[in-house]
Structure 1
Amino acid sequence: MRYWLFKSEPNTWSWDQQVARGEAGEQWDGVRNYQARNNMREMQLGDRGFFYHSLSEKAVVGVVEVSALAHPDSTTDDPRWDCVDIKAVGPFATPVTLADIKADPRLSDMVLVKNSRLSVQPVTQAEWDIICAMGDFSA
């Protein structure tokens, strides 16, 4: 299993909206960055990801799971853009903020710290474990 981080502006697509989609999940559409698209093309069913609220909150708020492999993004006719489907697994008991992540020296090499603008990014096993512990998440 690999780990990822999915960034969303909560006023565009929030954790609560993701949870409301239930087992059906939702396609992670609208991504128009080649690196983020390529990351989604690498994903496998069952991979886990952090759901990150960007903008004002800047915090990991929950965990999602890849429920459909990369497929054409239905929000465009441009064949260059793919997306995956994700479903909510569970919320963090305590959201983990970007400030919390930056304050932990063990996370200094995390993509979120070095390239916070990338909307879909890989997370290492060690980073995953640390942030899950910080957010009091286990599943």
Structure 2
Amino acid sequence: MNWLFKEEPTHYSFDDFTKDKKTMWSGVRNPVAQKHLHAVKKGDRVFFYHTGDEKAVVGIAKALGDAYPDPDDKTGKAAVVDIAPVKKLARP
């Protein structure tokens, strides 16, 4: 499955993500986005989209495992997923 994850590059850019080598994708609170996040499975491809001025897919990542409960969510309803960068796109 393919997914589109979006982020403001001034908050967390694909370059930051590449330096970190992996991240727990968290902080998603929109109910529809959470529904989709719960469906992410290990090996799924993630297109990393920069919002703001860029408005472009700038890289590709992969899900390192299935989505799991957000450890910071007291309700137990929110999900997170661990992802790792695969490659930066030369031309978004």
User: TM-score scaled to structure 2, two decimals?
Assistant: 0.91
Deviation at 1:12, TM superposition (A): 1.2
Structure 1 contact 65–87 (Cα < 8 Å) conserved: yes
For structure 2, list consecutive stretches of 5 or more residues without a partner in the other structure: none
Deviation at 1:52, TM superposition (A): 0.3
User: TM-score scaled to structure 1, two decimals?
Assistant: 0.62
Aligned residue in 2 for 1:26: 23
- Which SS does the other structure have where 2:10 is aligned? coil
Residue in structure 2 matching 1:87, options 81, 84, 88: 84
- Which SS does the other structure have where 1:19 is aligned? helix
- Indicate the percent of aligned positions where both proteins have the same amino acid: 39
Separation in 2 of the partners of 1:28 and 1:51? 11
Say which one has the larger Rg: 1
Q: Structure 1 residues 58 and 45 mapped into 2: Cα distance closer, same or farther (>3 Å)?
A: same
Separation in 1 of the partners of 2:54 and 2:46? 18
1:4 matched to 2:6: no
Structure 1 contact 29–75 (Cα < 8 Å) conserved: no
Aligned residue in 2 for 1:66: 63
- Which SS does the other structure have where 2:64 is aligned? strand
Deviation at 1:55, TM superposition (A): 1.1
For structure 1, list consecutive stretches of 5 or more residues without a partner in the other structure: 96-139
Deviation at 1:78, TM superposition (A): 3.1
Q: How many residues matched? A: 92
Structure 1's consecutive aligned runs of 4 or more residues displaced over 3 angstroms after TM superposition are none
The RMSD of aligned alpha carbons is 1.2
